[in-house]
Copies of this chain bind each other. A is one copy, B any other.
Amino acid sequence: MGDFFGKEYRSNMEKDLANQEQLISRVVEKVMEQLKYYDRFKIPIGVSNRHVHVSREDLDVLYGKGYELTKKSDLGQPGQFAAEETVTVRGPKGEFKGVRILGPIRPESQVEISLADGFKLGVRAPITESGHLDGTPGLTLIGPKGTVEMPQGTIVALRHIHMTPADAERMGVKDKDIVDVETFGEREGVLGNVLVRVSDKFALEMHVDMDEANACSLKNKDYVVIAKR
């Protein structure tokens, strides 16, 4: 282009380019920082549909004395599995057939439902931690060999994150902390009151129920992050 552009113009253009390059590398730096932040705090989602944990005694009634659960598939938490076996769960107002049993067996039977399920069954189950069953409503479990009237054990699982001590250290949280979790996508938002559970027997995973998964448009393996509100 010869000297069509004057010296001053070219000098300014070079300065502009240098400024632009600086700006771009600052933006890239910021984006990388944010990605690293997300990487450090990101947690895969596990969506829990309604399911049942059974005691030895109740499995004896539902499927026969000494019956052993058959593994259908592994779950996100080590040693936990979805069984081939299902039961009908019946409440005062409705029932669900084919509700999956999760293994292994537990000291006490427990039915985990969503709030929507509770309306259909006709039970007001508290939103609480797994195993906190005192005062919770009962339900009827119907298996191929018999029926169990659970005196208690129906809960809506408090949304929670399983993690290892190494995860907890990396994320700066500890067992029983209550945190906020940021979700992404079409129905992005923040889930508050999320319980952190830390154990070397856990794998990193946040459990939400079907109501929560649908409200946030989340599916298994989607990522969320612990949020600072």
Spot the interface stretch: A103-111, A131-139, A181-189: A181-189
With an 8 A cutoff between CB atoms, is A193 at the interface?
yes
A210 to B212 alpha-carbon distance, docked (Å)? 10
Contacts of A187 in B (CB 8 A): 127, 159, 191-193
Indicate if the CB atoms of A116 and B193 lie closer than 8 Å: no
- Pick the residue among B186, B216, B229 that contacts A215 (CB under 8 A): B216
Supposing A116-B116, A217-B115 touch, asked if A127 and B186 sit within 8 A by C-beta, the answer is yes
Copies of this chain in the oligomer? 2
With an 8 A cutoff between CB atoms, is A114 at the interface?
yes
Contacts of A212 in B (CB 8 A): 215
- Pick the residue among B116, B190, B217 that contacts A190 (CB under 8 A): B190
- Pick the residue among B188, B193, B211, B216 that contacts A186 (CB under 8 A): B193
Between-chain CB contacts (< 8 Å), 20 pairs: A115-B214, A116-B116, A116-B211, A116-B214, A127-B186, A127-B187, A127-B217, A186-B193, A187-B191, A188-B193, A189-B191, A189-B192, A189-B193, A190-B190, A190-B192, A190-B229, A211-B211, A212-B215, A214-B215, A215-B216
